A and B are shown apart, each in its own frame.
Chain A
């Protein structure tokens, strides 16, 4: 047991050591930490109700100044406060949908690879079908049918990522399932769930982790697109995509209204992409060019 703990730790350390060497990955990580921190500490600087929600018509359309570094919007709300609170929503959507859909995908993919046969066929055809539908269209159908709320959005943008997890997990399960240590585990009487979760899945960790990081980015982008189309978290909740859509009407005169929310989305996606690329190189040196 002791030895196993050490081994896991050293693998983590090794990955971290390699990750640290990549300058771009570190930039991504710092950026991401900054975004997460500003989302977490938002209440210390701004009050959600008075700064991000309350309308103040007298202070509308103030261009960026010292009191409002990002200016104010058409209702006189502080754009900086709204961008910072918007980070909370985007991050929650990204993380929760990633957790839910990654679990479903990994479970389906692992069991498909392990059991094979008819079951595998059914799961893989299901993945093919989901992959054939353009992801944003699938999300639009789900949200427009079930109604617009945070949970439905999380599911809608996540569903399209499930097939990716299924495929990746199944592929990496297939590479280990016939190895001797799995046979050994079976021989000493380990149960099937134990074999799958304790012996097989830890070996598939690297590609799944990389995929998950990159998928959080696409999920956040997609949720913002939904909001932009008017199918996102309902107003007046501060959401980046919705802020952009609202700012569009006034961008001829007040371009900053579409600058800051867009920049926030881009930086979030960029940080996750940088980190994901770095992780891929660190976890799987074979892939590194």
Chain B
């Protein structure tokens, strides 16, 4: 087990280096003079040259990347062009808000999707099942930003019982969390249903029923536990989607998280901030994914042995 954990952590390193490499190069190979941009269009040539020297922009992009990576290893991803504060510091000030939002989004989506998926599978082809599937299909197709706008329109402007933005009240998170988690909720409902349908036809379920165990326990204890495995495996992908989607949600609801920070930095053309945030978000997503995987390996002995054989 320890060997597996170490291996997974070691595998993260090339991914993170690769991500930083790709993001850094995209931004630095792009046309446009960074020094001129920071100095402002009315600055004289001497100021631009001074800034260029200070930032070391006259070096080749590879040298700059090496320097950036070396700084990154020491927890320094440069300064924001705009506020002269370290990128890492600003990022971690904003991170808790995004994590809080993601937590509520995940909670919301699971609380709705699991019962919905299980019930649809148990009552396959019933009216309930059909309604739930249409609902899930609409949920997959509705764009997050439109859902957010509709939410504000209905709950904040027409009914006036939820705030349309900010995080001043304890219930401020409700609309953003539902908006952000809606797509995941729809996807998880569909996945839970199909995975339940697969499990529920297996022989051991028939055996359990034949033994006279109540339907409730058969479904919840015997079937659901196995049906959840594929759902948990894809949870990581949804998480990536959700943290990415936070840029849109946080922008709509003025939620003071990392997504909003990225959006603001783009508007100000603070590319150093954007690069740093994207790299840090990716690192955090990778770490959360790793934790999910580890918990999952511990929980499911079947996977532990397969990994033991395949990787070990």
Which chain A residues have a beta carbon within 8 Å of chain B's beta carbons?
125-126, 128-138, 140-142, 144-147, 217, 221, 224-225, 228-231, 241, 244, 248, 251-252, 255, 258, 262, 265-266, 269-270, 273-274, 289
Given contact pairs A146-B31, A244-B145, A136 touches B157 in the complex (Cβ within 8 A): no
B153 in contact with A255 (CB, 8 Å): yes
A133 in contact with B22 (CB, 8 Å): yes
In the complex, which residues of chain B have a beta carbon less than 8 angstroms from the beta carbon of A125?
A: 14-15, 18
Contact of B137 among A130, A145, A228, A274 (CB under 8 A): A274
A136 to B150, CA, bound (A): 21
The 7 closest A-B pairs by CB, nearest first: A134-B244, A129-B18, A145-B30, A262-B146, A270-B141, A269-B141, A136-B244
B137 in contact with A270 (CB, 8 Å): yes
A24 to B137, CA, bound (A): 11
A258 in contact with B149 (CB, 8 Å): yes
Majority secondary structure, A binding face = helix
A134 to B138, CA, bound (A): 23
Over the window 132-168 of chain B, the binary record of Cβ atoms lying under 8 Å from chain A Cβ atoms (1 yes, 0 no) is 0000011011111110011011000100000000000
A140 in contact with B274 (CB, 8 Å): yes
B245 in contact with A136 (CB, 8 Å): yes
A43 to B194, CA, bound (A): 44
Q: For the side of the interface on B, what is the size category? A: 35 or more
In the complex, which residues of chain A have a beta carbon less than 8 angstroms from the beta carbon of B266?
A: 140, 144, 229, 231
Compute the total of residue contacts between A and B using a CB distance below 8 Å. Answer: 129
Whole-angstrom distance between the Cβ of B207 and the nearest chain A Cβ: 22
A141 in contact with B146 (CB, 8 Å): no
Can you list 18 residue pairs at the A/B interface with Cβ under 8 Å?
A125-B14, A125-B15, A126-B18, A128-B15, A128-B18, A129-B15, A130-B22, A132-B285, A133-B278, A136-B245, A136-B248, A137-B278, A138-B23, A140-B278, A144-B274, A146-B30, A258-B150, A266-B142
Apart from A137-B262, A225-B145, A289-B194, what are 17 other A-B pairs with CB-CB below 8 Å? A132-B282, A133-B282, A134-B243, A136-B244, A138-B23, A140-B274, A141-B27, A141-B274, A144-B269, A144-B271, A145-B271, A221-B143, A252-B157, A258-B149, A262-B143, A270-B137, A270-B138
Contact of B244 among A137, A230, A274 (CB under 8 A): A137
Closest to B246 in A: A134
A132 in contact with B248 (CB, 8 Å): no
Residue picked from B26, B137, B244, most chain A C-beta under 10 Å: B244
Whole-angstrom distance between the Cβ of A225 and the nearest chain B Cβ: 5
B143 in contact with A266 (CB, 8 Å): yes
A130 to B274, CA, bound (A): 17
A134 in contact with B141 (CB, 8 Å): no
Is B65 in the interface zone, CB < 8 Å from A? Answer: no
Contact of A147 among B31, B137, B146 (CB under 8 A): B31
A289 in contact with B22 (CB, 8 Å): no
Is B172 in the interface zone, CB < 8 Å from A? Answer: no
B153 in contact with A132 (CB, 8 Å): no
Given contact pairs A140-B274, A144-B271, A221-B143, A135 touches B15 in the complex (Cβ within 8 A): no
Contact of B286 among A132, A230, A248, A270 (CB under 8 A): A132
In the complex, which residues of chain A have a beta carbon less than 8 angstroms from the beta carbon of B215?
A: none
A134 in contact with B149 (CB, 8 Å): no
Residue picked from A141, A255, A289, most chain B C-beta under 10 Å: A141
In the complex, which residues of chain B have a beta carbon less than 8 angstroms from the beta carbon of A129?
A: 14-15, 18-19, 22
